[in-house]
């Protein structure tokens, strides 16, 4: 695949993503943390960059996302914003940075001023009021449900969510309530493919999946997983560098495989 031929021709907006969902066109998200990789993502045709609190593990050496601070997030959002003019930048709200409405307002504003185009926060039905307050004040929100890594200590580890009837119904309800509250995007992490398919079909807003089957409107992977830099990669990831000539080619192949439905394959999906 030609690296240059896939470059974004114009800036991605939330309206772009909604139109792609309506037209059943997949879009591509990558979690990354610096300007050079952001520029490469733009050239590869990646529509959305997630500056994720996953940087706690991939960059900073923590064993979870819990120690990540607002200062960490702002530093990396600023770096990514200097590397791209066309990708939509999503900034993660770190652990306990949105525990109250006042905290959420203040910290979301800081991320937006650093260069994010929308913020992402973890939480189901309980987070609906926060989503509504942010949305009402002009701050776009991606709501993250399923496996929410900031709650790893509550879950007792990184576990697939929604495998029994009650928890599946709760995730469906979470999705519905968050969309009604004003969420602009829904991210589903580590849920069975049939459940993710059902939720995505119900949503008017775009859905992004990671370990959530192939029926979401988009996929997201962490750049470290794409490039084979993770010592123990999760089941839902793929090392695209193995079949590519260099890093730009790996990024472009990831984009192509998401667009044409080759990724995720059966071995990356939770049944």
Inter-residue contact 255 to 246 (CB < 8 Å): no
Domains of the chain, by residue range, sit at 10-262
Look up the pTM and report it.
0.95
User: Domain 10-262, what fold?
Assistant: TIM Barrel (3.20.20)
Distance between CA atoms of residues 47 and 79, nearest Å: 17
Q: Is the dihedral of CA 126, 130, 195, 57 positive or negative?
A: negative
Catalytic residues: 189
CA-nearest of 206, 269, 199, 205 to 234 is 269
pLDDT digits (tens, 9 = 90+) for 112-130: 999 999 999 999 999 999 9
Q: Which residues of the chain have pLDDT under 50?
A: 2-4
Distance between CA atoms of residues 111 and 117, nearest Å: 9
DSSP character for 254?
A: H
> Which residues are within 8 A (CB) of 77 and not within 5 positions of it... i.e. 6 or more apart?
51, 89, 91, 111, 114, 115, 116
Radius of gyration of the chain (CA): 17
Helix (H, G, I), strand (E, B) or coil at 207: strand
* 3-state SS track over 139-184: CCEEEEEECCHHHHHHHCCCCCCCCCHHHHHHHHHHHHHHHHHCCC
């Amino acid at each position: 695949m030609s690296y240059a031929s896939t470059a974004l021709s114009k800036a991605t907006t939330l309206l772009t993503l909604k139109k792609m969902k309506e037209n059943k066109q997949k879009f591509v998200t990558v979690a990354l943390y610096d300007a050079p990789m952001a520029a490469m993502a733009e050239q590869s045709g990646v529509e959305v960059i997630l500056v994720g609190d996953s940087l706690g593990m991939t960059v900073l050496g923590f064993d979870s996302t819990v120690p990540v601070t607002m200062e960490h997030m702002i530093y990396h959002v600023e770096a990514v914003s200097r590397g791209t003019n066309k990708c939509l930048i999503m900034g993660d709200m770190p652990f306990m940075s949105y525990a109250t409405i006042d905290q959420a307002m203040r910290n979301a504003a800081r991320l937006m001023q650093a260069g994010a185009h929308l913020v992402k926060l973890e939480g189901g039905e309980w987070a609906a009021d926060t989503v509504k307050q942010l949305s009402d004040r002009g701050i776009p929100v991606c709501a993250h449900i399923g496996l929410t890594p900031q709650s790893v200590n509550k879950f007792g580890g990184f576990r697939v969510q929604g495998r029994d009837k009650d928890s599946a119904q709760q995730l469906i309800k979470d999705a519905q309530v968050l969309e009604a509250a004003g969420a602009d995007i829904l991210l589903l992490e580590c849920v069975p493919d049939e459940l993710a398919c059902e939720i995505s079909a119900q949503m008017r807003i775009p859905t992004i999946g990671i370990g959530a089957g192939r029926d979401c409107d988009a996929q997201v992977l962490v750049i470290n997983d794409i490039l084979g830099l993770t010592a123990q990669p999760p089941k839902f990831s793929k090392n695209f560098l193995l079949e590519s000539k260099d890093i730009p080619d790996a990024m472009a192949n990831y984009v192509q495989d998401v667009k044409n439905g080759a990724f995720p394959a059966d071995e990356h999906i939770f049944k």
